[in-house]
Structure 1
Amino acid sequence: MVDKSVQNETFYELDKAKRTAVILLFEDELSDEQIAKAVNRSRTTLSNWKKDNKFKQAQIEYRRVAIDSYVPDAIKRLHKLATGAKSEMVSLQAAQSILSMAGFGSVDSSPELEQAKIEKAKADVRKTKAEADIKEAEAKAVKEDDSGSLTVNIVPFGDDADGS
């Protein structure tokens, strides 16, 4: 196991107030005003800390270590769902999540899904163009003459459009 203090080197270089602020920001339960008050600093001081590169790095390090502690349990839970879920859909989604985390594709994407999205987009473009052509034809059929009167040109449509 890796020593968490090594993983959080920048975090531990901060003073106690800044470390507390990093933790409270990560927990995301208090407003910035409340966090500033909790560490006996002004809201402006907290705002300045949040802009500081060392403080930002400490936040990244702390977040990584805090979240890493949940990963083993999450993977165990996904494995349990993938192998023992009563619902085939739940089992499939858990298996896809595990494969995605292992680098074998994304849960939200596959070549087939991407191709289907492209085909749908092409169909949407064709539909929109057809609708625009219809609107243009309708606009040509209804014209306003110089006197302001509307003239409707009736254009035959269908089998008898050519007069047969």
Structure 2
Amino acid sequence: MKNRRKSEEMGPFYELNKLKRKAVIMLFEDSLTDEEIAKKLRRVPSTLYEWKKDPKFKAAQEQYKRLVVKKDFESKALRELVNLLNAKSEMVRLQTAITILKMSGMMSDNSTPELDKAKVRKANAEADIARWRADELTGKNKADDSTVLVDDIGDAEDE
């Protein structure tokens, strides 16, 4: 648990000084205007404007947003997703399962069950072809009526 807490206390948000971290928090809460935030921080609005343009400050805002969402909503969202696995709609159940798999890292954003099955079929077909070619080279596939497949696409480019 100590290591987890330590890793959560790293990154751009924690690299900012206290004043800038306070600005990030107030900007996230979105209840004050930039001018009001600057006044509370005892800075002129142009200072806050300059901070907001800084890539490190922007990265800190993103990190803080992820931390708050994770802390406050991640477990609730996951519980809701688990409940949706029992939905009446097959499409809702499928989308829920895909979302959970993506969250767990078992499926990427550009992956679908159909695409994954197609990739497996392609890999199996390529393995079958490689096995057949190896058997052909060792003479295991020799028959009087055998056909030899030649891949000469690469040779045409060499000429």
When the two structures are superposed, what TM-score results if normalisation uses the length of structure 2?
Answer: 0.53
Correspondence for 1:30 among 7, 19, 32: 32
Q: By how many angstroms is 1:42 displaced?
A: 1.6
In the alignment, the residues of structure 2 paired with residue 73 and residue 94 of structure 1 have an alpha-carbon distance, to the nearest angstrom, of 14
Output one character per residue of 1:1-38: Cα deviation in whole Å (capped at 9) or x when no partner.
31167534543443333111101222334332232233
How big is each residue's C-alpha offset from its partner over 1:53-100, in whole Å with a ceiling of 9 and x where there is no partner?
442343233223222223233222211211x22333322221221133
Instruction: Name the amino acid aligned to 2:61.
Output: Q
* 1:4 and 1:65 in contact (8 A); partners too: no
2:80 to 67, 77, 90: 77
SS of equivalent to 2:88: coil
For 2:65 and 2:26, how far apart are their aligned partners in 1?
11
Aligned length: 111
Alignment RMSD (CA, Å): 3.1
Matched-pair contact (CA < 8 Å) for 1:11–1:59: yes
**Cα–Cα, structure 1 residues 40 and 110, in superposed 2: closer, same or farther, change >3 Å?**
farther
Q: How does 1:149-160 map to 2 (within 5 A)?
A: none
**Can you give the 5+ residue segments of structure 2 that lack an aligned partner in the other structure?**
116-159
How many angstroms does 1:45 deviate by?
A: 0.6
Question: Which one has the largest radius of gyration?
Answer: 1
Deviations 1:131-163 (A, max 9, x none): xxxxxxxxxxxxxxxxxxxxxxxxxxxxxxxxx
2:43 paired with 1:14: no
Tell me the TM-score normalized by structure 1: 0.52
Could you tell me which amino acid in structure 1 is paired with residue 107 of structure 2?
F
- How far apart in 2 are the matches of 1:12 and 1:98? 30
The Cα offsets for residues 107-127 of structure 1, whole Å up to 9 and x where unpaired, read as 897777xxxxxxxxxxxxxxx
Q: Identity rate of aligned residues, in percent?
A: 47
Partners of 1:10 and 1:57 within 8 A in 2: yes
Unaligned runs of at least 5 residues, structure 1:
113-164
Question: Which amino acid is 1:73 matched to?
Answer: K
